[in-house]
Structure 1
Amino acid sequence: MEKYLKKRRYGNMRARKILTLTTVSTMIAASLSFTGCGNAESSDGKATSKGDSDSVTLKWVSQGPGEDSWEGLTKPILEEYEKETGVHIDAEFYSFNDLFEVIETKAAAGNADFDVMSVDVTYIAKYGTSGYLEPLDKYFTDEDKAKWDSASYQAGVWEDTMYAAPENTSTQVLYYNKTLLDEAGIVIPENDENHRLTYDQIADLAKQALEKLDPDGTEGLIGFDFQQVSRVYQMNMLANAMGGKNISDDGYSLDGVVNTKPWIDAMTWYQDLVNAGIASKGYDADQLGEQFYAGKMLFMVGGTWTPSGMKVDDEIECTYAPCFEGFEDKAATSTGSWYFGINSNSKNKDAAADFIKWFTLEKGNDMWLEVNGDVPSRLDKQEEIKNDPDASKDMKIAAYEAANTAVPRAVTPVFGEYSTVLDQAWEDVRNGADVEETLENAIEQFESATAAYKK
């Protein structure tokens, strides 16, 4: 693996957090006092100027317990912000789940004691519809918006209004265990972004390797699967790769979306893969990645944090995400990450907007990407990675995918209900349920769960 990870400038220090995000339970509240920039409003709504450090205090609520979290990683960035400008910032960091409770409780009560919030991409439409987020279009010009890749920008937009700005993004790479494949005598065909391996090719290569390495199944090897199995975050890319949408244009319906040929064919293809013994059964999304890390899986679609989780010395290689034969022009990768938004009740909206712009488009974002190693949302930083001889292969691939094949998750105020229904649908199909019946049931369940939200 040394060759593969050589000079990995863009690391993955948040790998543990990403893989176990929803299991974090400890809350910390670290009050940090730093300074920021921008024309701001004072507590009485009057504008103040840059450098007037006694006039404004911004509070930012975010997530990240632990030394490798946002708390630890952002400290030097905020210190730089303090050195450059003069608006005070108090930052409070919470566990993943506690952050959402803090935001929803305070925002719903009209609380103005925080100004900036970190928002998971799946909550943006909900918070926008609920009035928790201040629209950002007046703060970000068309030129600003064009600096992000299309998927990152669009994921922050709901009903033609920009509500949040991307901190960074994520994408998918096809990783494979070259040591095991070499042992099986399997040679990966030449491929690149314009000539991708197809899903059927991967399935066939995995089948050939399993027949040689684990013919009776006693070794417990898995041929090919998705790191976050049965979760819409990754699984939907199968339907997207056949031209399927994630949700209706109004964000409230699955009818006419999942009961269409792309979804039916995608779910059928995956079910066949499981039935053939190539994809896994019995592991959930918190366990399956461990099988790859332990040298028990041949091919895996995973995020760029994958190499940092390896526990074996097997040589790991990677390539571009697969496509389906006949849909080469529709290659699709899952995407999305954390965003910044302004509390609509804030009395310091201009200052908050300047801080967000600095942290998403300017020097603060440069520093964040350098220390954190996530996939950039900014096109210039993606291009920088592609041209950087020290960047790792998977990050070069990720930079391309983010700019060219990324498909935002369903943009909807009811993403919680959406993921609950469709995560279960993917799992049911994985376990042998009839595909078309499962999708019709998913439509009914989603319609019932979201009826109260519809206009």
Structure 2
Amino acid sequence: MKLSVLPRPVRAATQLVGGAVAVALLVTGCGSGSDSAGSAQRPAGLTAADSLKDPSKPVTITYAGAAYSADDIKPVLAAFHQEHPNITVKYQAVPFDQFNSVLSTRLSRQDSTLDVFDVDMPRTDAYQARGWLTDLSSAFPDLAGKVDKTSQEAATSDGKLVALPYQTSSQLLYYNKALLEKAGIPLPSAKPADRLTWEKVTADAKKTQQAGAKWGLLFDQVNRYYQLQPLAESLGGGSGAGGTKDLTPELQTAGWEKAMTWYGSLYKDKISPRGVPVAQTPDLFASGQVAFFPGGPWWATKFTDNAKLDFGVTAYPYFKDGKPVTPTGGWSLGLNPASKQAVASEIFMKYMALDNGGFAQHMSSLAVPPSNTAGTAAFYDQKVFKDPRMAGAVELTKYELANTATLRARTAGYVEFEDTLSKTFDDISNGASASSALSSATSTINQAWAKYR
């Protein structure tokens, strides 16, 4: 992902080329015309997507996305246009770091020129609370068995399906074989039952540094909630939000304080480097400078493309007194309640997320697993997973998605929650005590959430 989070869950891709133009289009709007050929239907009372027929005359819908670049999604749109010649999808790719703010601008002013948009899964409840999502329950009444259970749960709010999931995510622990062997450390097994503890990883990371490694451990999405939530969850700290509708911050718990104290120690002890932007963390592992790299399968191609990089994968670690927990979540599709082209939008959403495996069937490279259970085969059958260095990755990913994957907090105040925690993690990595940083975060979030209670 990369995502998101990809996708951040992951985030499957971060669009930089043409980003300024895309942002301008998204903020100002881009007229997509009136759907006078039969799909000029307000989203209320949607018809089951399986029974819809294409419009008899050409129409255009606008789709704003952050999961994939315009080039990445081009083959998907080309295939859709060939199968549905009277529907044109105008895609606006926006860098993830700017996507949520500019999307909120369009949705808050009920801009009808935006029809379909990417929904970062943990923001589903927040968008629903703001009235930015259309109830899709009647449009897609039988998703059970068609998408993975966790993705369907993430797309449901107040008992309604308000988004259509199309991709999810998981994590691996990459390790540099050469650095471990130089330090005399046995190579980890790829079996989930042999999962390492964070305590073991920390000790081994220090040994690799003593043997010459520049850095012992570096998280992929450093200082981001997606990547770090499992640390507290493993120790029983929960998601960080609880109470009625998850609008009470629960960060000052033994699990969160222990996990974040450990996280801060990585930087204090110089096991992890300070000040490395998220976009550059995989480069350090790819260049052989890092012994352990917890990250997504979306980096597999980058690592396997380096013939000199001798690495392997193992399960995402857990704390010895806790339980295995892995990050998950990706992207769904939302239908703008202000859209005047609901039918054409439904047809596209169904094609993107469900038809014959959805978008996955048309992409040459998949960064994360599709939510569509019929489309996951394309993900696992990719050439990158046949590289000996990725041995065990497919089995691990399937296992984690079925057994350890844990969604982020479900709260109407997620936007403020995530923004505050990003600053909190940054403070902790720069030397603030976990206790004081989490206390400050609790106060900030409480103030921000007052309007939702």
> What is the CA–CA distance in structure 1 between the aligned matches of 2:404 and 2:165, rounded to whole Å?
17
The equivalent position to 2:316 in structure 1, one of 286, 296, 321, is 321
1:152 aligns with: 151
Please report how far the alpha carbon of residue 258 of structure 1 lies from its aligned counterpart in structure 2 after TM superposition.
1.4
Which letter does structure 2 place at the counterpart of 1:431? N
Listed as ranges, the matches of 1:161-200 within 5 Å are 161-200=160-199
Contact 1:332 1:406 in 2 (8 A): yes
1:130 aligns with: 130
Which letter does structure 1 place at the counterpart of 2:368? D
> What is the CA–CA distance in structure 2 between the aligned matches of 1:211 and 1:431, rounded to whole Å?
23
The 1:243/1:16 distance shift into structure 2, 3 A limit, reads: closer
- Per-residue CA deviation, residues 73-107 of structure 1 (Å, 9 max, x unaligned), is 33332333333345412313142366545543333
> What is the CA–CA distance in structure 2 between the aligned matches of 1:24 and 1:226, rounded to whole Å?
28
Where do 5+ consecutive residues of structure 2 fail to align?
1-5
> What is the CA–CA distance in structure 1 between the aligned matches of 2:18 and 2:235, rounded to whole Å?
35
> What is the CA–CA distance in structure 2 between the aligned matches of 1:321 and 1:44, rounded to whole Å?
45
1:379 aligns with: 373
Contact 2:69 2:93 in 1 (8 A): no
1:119 aligns with: 119
Which letter does structure 1 place at the counterpart of 2:112? A
Please report how far the alpha carbon of residue 390 of structure 1 lies from its aligned counterpart in structure 2 after TM superposition.
7.5
Which letter does structure 2 place at the counterpart of 1:130? R
1:446 aligns with: 445
2:256 aligns with: 263
2:21 aligns with: 27
The 1:281/1:74 distance shift into structure 2, 3 A limit, reads: closer
Point out the more displaced range, 420-429 or 172-181.
420-429
Contact 2:181 2:187 in 1 (8 A): no
Point out the more displaced range, 188-197 or 298-307.
188-197
Contact 1:376 1:399 in 2 (8 A): no
> What is the CA–CA distance in structure 1 between the aligned matches of 2:85 and 2:425, rounded to whole Å?
50
> What is the CA–CA distance in structure 2 between the aligned matches of 1:204 and 1:382, rounded to whole Å?
36
1:427 aligns with: 426
> What is the CA–CA distance in structure 2 between the aligned matches of 1:212 and 1:241, rounded to whole Å?
30
Please report how far the alpha carbon of residue 380 of structure 1 lies from its aligned counterpart in structure 2 after TM superposition.
4.2
Which letter does structure 1 place at the counterpart of 2:130? S
The 1:133/1:288 distance shift into structure 2, 3 A limit, reads: same
1:50 aligns with: 53
- Per-residue CA deviation, residues 8-54 of structure 1 (Å, 9 max, x unaligned), is xxxx9xx9985755897422469999xxxxx9633589989624431
> What is the CA–CA distance in structure 2 between the aligned matches of 1:73 and 1:19, rounded to whole Å?
9
- Per-residue CA deviation, residues 234-284 of structure 1 (Å, 9 max, x unaligned), is 0111112223322225455353x2112221221122233433432333434
Which letter does structure 2 place at the counterpart of 1:184? A
Q: TM-score, normalised by structure 1?
A: 0.81
**Counterpart secondary structure, 1:305:** helix
Please report how far the alpha carbon of residue 292 of structure 1 lies from its aligned counterpart in structure 2 after TM superposition.
1.5
> What is the CA–CA distance in structure 2 between the aligned matches of 1:409 and 1:346, rounded to whole Å?
29
Which letter does structure 2 place at the counterpart of 1:434? S
Across the aligned residues of Structure 1 and Structure 2, the Cα RMSD in angstroms comes to: 3.6
> What is the CA–CA distance in structure 1 between the aligned matches of 2:157 and 2:262, rounded to whole Å?
32
The 1:368/1:201 distance shift into structure 2, 3 A limit, reads: farther
How many aligned positions are there? 424
1:307 aligns with 2:300: yes
**Counterpart secondary structure, 2:297:** coil
> What is the CA–CA distance in structure 1 between the aligned matches of 2:291 and 2:195, rounded to whole Å?
18
The 1:49/1:318 distance shift into structure 2, 3 A limit, reads: closer
Contact 1:63 1:118 in 2 (8 A): yes
- Per-residue CA deviation, residues 348-399 of structure 1 (Å, 9 max, x unaligned), is 3244223212211223333245543422223344467568897343344333
**Counterpart secondary structure, 2:228:** helix
Please report how far the alpha carbon of residue 151 of structure 1 lies from its aligned counterpart in structure 2 after TM superposition.
2.6
> What is the CA–CA distance in structure 2 between the aligned matches of 1:64 and 1:420, rounded to whole Å?
18
1:60 aligns with 2:83: no
The equivalent position to 1:296 in structure 2, one of 285, 289, 294, is 289
- Per-residue CA deviation, residues 144-197 of structure 1 (Å, 9 max, x unaligned), is 144322332222222322211122122211001112222222212435113311
**Counterpart secondary structure, 2:270:** coil
Contact 1:369 1:376 in 2 (8 A): no
> What is the CA–CA distance in structure 2 between the aligned matches of 1:347 and 1:287, rounded to whole Å?
41
Listed as ranges, the matches of 1:328-347 within 5 Å are 330-347=323-340
- Per-residue CA deviation, residues 301-346 of structure 1 (Å, 9 max, x unaligned), is 011122333485221211111122243xx31111222221111122
**Counterpart secondary structure, 2:444:** helix
Point out the more displaced range, 203-212 or 167-176.
203-212
**Counterpart secondary structure, 1:440:** helix
Please report how far the alpha carbon of residue 230 of structure 1 lies from its aligned counterpart in structure 2 after TM superposition.
1.3
1:77 aligns with: 76
2:108 aligns with: 108
Contact 1:377 1:402 in 2 (8 A): no
The 1:407/1:58 distance shift into structure 2, 3 A limit, reads: farther
1:8 aligns with: none
> What is the CA–CA distance in structure 2 between the aligned matches of 1:346 and 1:287, rounded to whole Å?
38
**Counterpart secondary structure, 1:171:** coil
> What is the CA–CA distance in structure 1 between the aligned matches of 2:276 and 2:78, rounded to whole Å?
43
Which letter does structure 1 place at the counterpart of 2:178? T
The 1:415/1:319 distance shift into structure 2, 3 A limit, reads: same
Contact 1:385 1:391 in 2 (8 A): no
Which letter does structure 1 place at the counterpart of 2:108? A
> What is the CA–CA distance in structure 2 between the aligned matches of 1:379 and 1:238, rounded to whole Å?
28
1:7 aligns with: none
Q: TM-score, normalised by structure 2?
A: 0.81
Please report how far the alpha carbon of residue 297 of structure 1 lies from its aligned counterpart in structure 2 after TM superposition.
0.7
Contact 1:231 1:285 in 2 (8 A): no
1:236 aligns with: 229
> What is the CA–CA distance in structure 1 between the aligned matches of 2:131 and 2:121, rounded to whole Å?
16
- Per-residue CA deviation, residues 86-140 of structure 1 (Å, 9 max, x unaligned), is 5412313142366545543333333323322222334322321111210111122
1:352 aligns with 2:345: yes
Which letter does structure 1 place at the counterpart of 2:403? N
